Structure 1
């Protein structure tokens, strides 16, 4: 999915250089859509250039040369293809915690309590980050803001669910 994000950002910001694109991904909170690192970003940028989906244009910026990128015609076609691929996909939410819960009865209840407390803590952190993004998201497009709000709602429901599980476990003991 990282290639879609890079190609999309280049459509919106032609002539951007690599670090600028990475900063945009972080600023626009794309980490809520896909997990990426600086390394995975630059790897994908290099792959897009090798496949000739993007092309480097050399520019002089205050006496230093920068490597700016633009979309090629092939890149425009790849962008359209990736938009359809990801836009038409419906994935199930796959939380590894759900897999662990399949075997909750086989696990020590005090250890299960710790796991649920970790889930509550981590989920509350995610909610906090989402709320921060929404509060300072003047540059966030309206549809993305609605996605962040939806994600926050799901996390709030998960916290209630985790707290209910915790209560049930403590009542069993």
Structure 2
């Protein structure tokens, strides 16, 4: 997902500074489906401002902290946001995962070590799945939560469930090829 789409989407909710965007991404657990590096966040804000998609509304000065520049989305930015949103929704994703490359050569490695790695990955994925299920249940009970956010979480949960099934099948196949 485009970092610009995330920024503009969150600015559609109201004026914000980059650090606030970062906090919202963390609070909403968006890290499970987007990658956001703090350096790229500030760079993206600079680019969006240069292109006229956002504008500075305020600079918050605090003697104990660095200045915080607050931005708002412009009308041009709202049009660009919609364009990015529709492009992102229309994209067909190609699955590029490092495990696929590793599996191509797994026959040349110690099968017990592979089993151990797969077991650890299964356990970590199950822990993440449980965390996402708990988060979903909490959010589902909130009055103001948007249904689309629940659909995102449902999608993540379904992907994790499928991932676990696949990893367990992979582990069984690896055990049979000892």
TM-score bracket, normalised by the shorter chain, equals: 0.7 to 0.9
Out of 110, 113, 117, the residue aligned to residue 111 of structure 1 is: 113
Give the CA RMSD over aligned residues: 2.6
Give the 3-state SS of the residue equivalent to 1:81 in structure 2. helix
**Pairing 1:1-173 to 2, within 5 Å after superposition:** 1-13=2-14, 15-58=15-58, 66-137=68-139, 138=142, 140-173=145-178
Equivalences, count: 172
The answer to whether the 8 A contact 1:59-1:67 is kept is yes
The answer to whether the 8 A contact 1:28-1:140 is kept is no
Aligned partners of 1:62 and 1:103: how far apart in 2?
55
Give TM-score, length-normalised by structure 1.
0.84
Aligned partners of 1:128 and 1:6: how far apart in 2?
29
TM-superposed CA distance for 1:57, in Å, is 1.0
Aligned partners of 1:171 and 1:81: how far apart in 2?
50
Aligned partners of 1:60 and 1:157: how far apart in 2?
46
The answer to whether the 8 A contact 1:55-1:69 is kept is yes
TM-superposed CA distance for 1:106, in Å, is 2.7
The answer to whether the 8 A contact 2:60-2:69 is kept is no
Give TM-score, length-normalised by structure 2.
0.82
Aligned partners of 1:43 and 1:165: how far apart in 2?
41
Aligned partners of 2:131 and 2:50: how far apart in 1?
35
Which runs of 5 or more structure 2 residues have no equivalent in the other structure?
none
Which runs of 5 or more structure 1 residues have no equivalent in the other structure?
none
1:44/1:140 CA distance change after superposition, 3 Å: farther
Q: Which moved more, 1:110-119 or 1:81-90?
A: 110-119
The answer to whether the 8 A contact 1:57-1:70 is kept is yes
Aligned partners of 1:95 and 1:59: how far apart in 2?
41
